[in-house]
């Protein structure tokens, strides 16, 4: 599974990545976690608000920090 976090390094973007890392670690869940910081790539994916999270290429969340519980649901944990 590939999880992408889109953002420009803002506080909310960092919090999103941290929440995902906590969920992965606490549940011993293996996934490739990738940060996408290039504005051109973010725009090409159609993301207008960050932070955003994509799972296996599908954007699931945009414009807000997901809760750890929400991340677990998205990952099927």
Known catalytic residues are 10, 13
Distance of alpha carbon 15 from alpha carbon 8, whole angstroms? 12
| CA-to-CA separations, 35 to 25, 31, in angstroms, rounded | 17, 13
Please tell me whether the peptide bond between 51 and the residue prior to it is cis, using omega within 30 degrees of 0.
yes
């Amino acid at each position: 599974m590939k999880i992408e976090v889109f953002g420009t390094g803002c506080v909310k973007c960092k919090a999103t990545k941290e929440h995902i890392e906590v969920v992965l670690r606490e549940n011993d869940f293996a996934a490739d976690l990738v940060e996408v910081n290039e504005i051109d790539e973010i725009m090409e994916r159609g993301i207008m608000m960050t932070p955003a999270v994509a799972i296996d290429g599908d954007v699931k969340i945009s414009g807000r920090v997901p809760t750890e519980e929400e991340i677990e649901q998205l990952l099927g944990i």
